[in-house]
Amino acid sequence: MSLENTLAESTIEHETYSSVPDGYRPGKAKFIVVTGSVMSGVGKGTFSGALATLLSCHGLKVSPVKFDGYLNYDAGTLNPYRHGEVFVLEDGTECDLDLGSYERALHANLTKDNYLTAGKIFKMIFDKERTGKYLGRDVQFIPHVTGEIKNFLRELAVKTNADIILVEVGGTVGDLENSYFVEAMRELRYEEGKENVMFINVTYIIEPDSLHEYKSKAAQIGLRQLMALGIQPDVMICRSQTPIPYSIKEKISIFGNVDLDRVYNLYNFSNVYGIPLILRDLGLDNEILSILNISPKGNGNTVLNFENWKGFVDKIKGRNRDIVVGIVGKYTNVHDSYLSIVKALEHSAPYFGVNVRIKWIEATDIEDGKITVEESLLNVDGVIVPGGFGKRGIEGKIAAIKYARERNVPYLGLCYGMQLAVVEFARNVCGLKTAHTTEVNPSTDCPVIDIIPEQKDKLKNSEMGGTMRLGGYPAKLKEGSLVRNLYNKDVVIERHRHRWELNPEFHKTLEENGMSLSGVYEERNLVEFIELPNHKFFIATQAHAEFTSRPLEPNPLFMGFVHVMVNNYVS
């Protein structure tokens, strides 16, 4: 019986449940599965992104998948303190921040089909069970849950026509919440064949301070646990603080049953953008191509290729001065809450020969009087107020915005940072002293920021997840505006994640007092960009412009922001 027919069998007479989407051909797409052991935060996402860049520079089409074991349907209701930022794809999917790493690595937009949670799998299964799609079977983890996971990956292969599906298994080997996904990947290799599915395990080699030497026992135990689940890694990536001795690589090779020349050491590097080139120098790309029996298809594309990537890395090495950006937020103790902003600054700075140092400023400390706004923003070259929700710290943010506006300090507002810039301007320039957002003060008599009707209905129905204005929306840019000059386009698409909007009733008042509403979503008359023409650089957007920045194609707002800090640029 052919593999296609074997996989398609799902009747009650068989113990398997795997399906083959229309147009799927086993072997056309290869699968690379990345797991992590020893501890969480080992660097799977960073490694996977670097590997995606490396393979893409060989002309291969890579489509990544992140599996998250939590039972949430998506990341939309997760707290930044617990999970870092919620990244938003252009199609509106709220997802793990690793999807942002993938998009930046690939210089490509991803979709909901590149993200899988346990909640999403189980909802899929419940919906099918209720409609009789399992033909009377008792629905079980094996074969149904694992079968749906495999089908998800095969459908992605067909939809994207990818050469390689790069799968990152979230969490750590041994976690209960990802055990069925690991099992699904074991089954995938069994069904597709060893020449089509390979495993890379990212482990950590610890170096206790009390011993001042590397110990591999934890990594060995993690490997044995992985192998007990039926997974034989083809490649080992050993993470460490500094280079590990040869003897440690030998131990990992023996305990993992992995050829010594397929055990690689990735110790901590100051420049993560250089990792794809380091992996190439180590020969990892050649080993992967050999294991999967595939060949390079050229040198990337016009944007993402080895020459351009090396040029960007060289720019990073050539930086000769620092600029300081103050980020005024409410999650500043967890820097991953603003990861895409940090990355967007990192993308832009090398093009001007500078390094960005970030001064993290807790807005609540300003609001509570623990520090003055003047002290907190002392010696910063520019100010960013990022997105957020709720009332905590907003008066501190407003004070920082007022400082930047009055002192002619370059300012970039993102999402909530635009809304609060409008509140500050309405209060202190337009004379609307009670101006506020109804998110914080629902009874304000001057709602310059208000919730739109359809969002009110969703809140009344207690709908939270996936119900905001999400994903990419077009903005028509005003002729002669700074944002029009920066983007060099009439219409741009940036990504959104919010409920409240600039109230159209106040458009005229704001413009009469000198604020330019420089970008509008015309279909709904919703303001997407504002700027102050007489300011050195004062731009804010309702969108999260940081989500679309790439190393080789930095977001224009961040490029303009860095440019003015470096060169005192005025358009």
Beta bridge partners of 266: 239
359: left (phi over 0), alpha (psi -120 to 50) or beta: beta
User: What is residue 69's DSSP assignment?
Assistant: -
Strands 538-541 and 526-531 turn out to be: antiparallel
Beta bridge partners of 538: 411
Dump the DSSP string for 356-402.
EEEEEEEHHHHHTTSS-HHHHTTT-SEEEE----SSTTHHHHHHHHH
Predicted pLDDT at 212: 82
Predicted pLDDT at 16: 65
Predicted pLDDT at 569: 44
pLDDT tens digits for 197-223? 999 999 999 988 888 889 999 999 999
Which residues are catalytic, by number? Answer: 415, 544, 546
Cα-based distances in Å from 225 to 79, 142, 157, 264 = 31, 20, 29, 20
Dump the DSSP string for 424-445.
HHHHHTS--TT-EETTT-TT-S
The Cβ of residue 377 has, within 10 Å, a number of other Cβ atoms equal to: 23
Predicted pLDDT at 114: 97
Q: Which helix (H) or strand (E) holds 505?
A: none
Block residue for tokens 């704001």:
510
Strands 62-68 and 164-169 turn out to be: parallel
Q: Can you give the C-alpha Rg of the chain in angstroms? A: 25
Q: Which domains does the chain have, with CATH numbers?
A: 3-309 (3.40.50.300), 318-567 (3.40.50.880)
Strands 382-385 and 411-414 turn out to be: parallel
The Cβ of residue 310 has, within 10 Å, a number of other Cβ atoms equal to: 15
Beta bridge partners of 519: 477, 529
What sign has the CA pseudo-torsion 380, 384, 390, 396? positive
pTM reported for the whole predicted model: 0.92
Predicted pLDDT at 1: 41
pLDDT tens digits for 466-495? 578 899 999 999 999 999 999 999 999 999
Question: Could you report the average pLDDT of every consecutive run of 10 residues in the chain (571 residues)?
Answer: 47 64 92 93 92 97 94 81 86 94 97 95 90 82 90 96 96 88 96 96 91 89 94 96 94 94 92 96 96 92 95 92 94 87 97 96 94 94 93 94 96 97 97 94 94 68 69 96 97 95 95 97 95 96 98 98 81 40
Joined together, the tokens standing for residue 77 give 């209701």
Contacts of 100 (CB under 8 A, 6+ apart): 85, 87, 339, 340, 343, 547
Predicted pLDDT at 216: 92
User: Do residues 170 and 66 touch, judged by C-beta distance below 8 A?
Assistant: yes
pLDDT tens digits for 40-99? 888 899 999 999 999 999 999 999 999 998 888 888 878 776 778 999 999 999 999 999
User: Do residues 208 and 233 touch, judged by C-beta distance below 8 A?
Assistant: no
CB under 8 Å, gap of 24 or more: what pairs does 374-379 form?
374/403, 376/326, 376/328, 376/400, 377/326, 377/403, 377/404, 377/409, 379/324
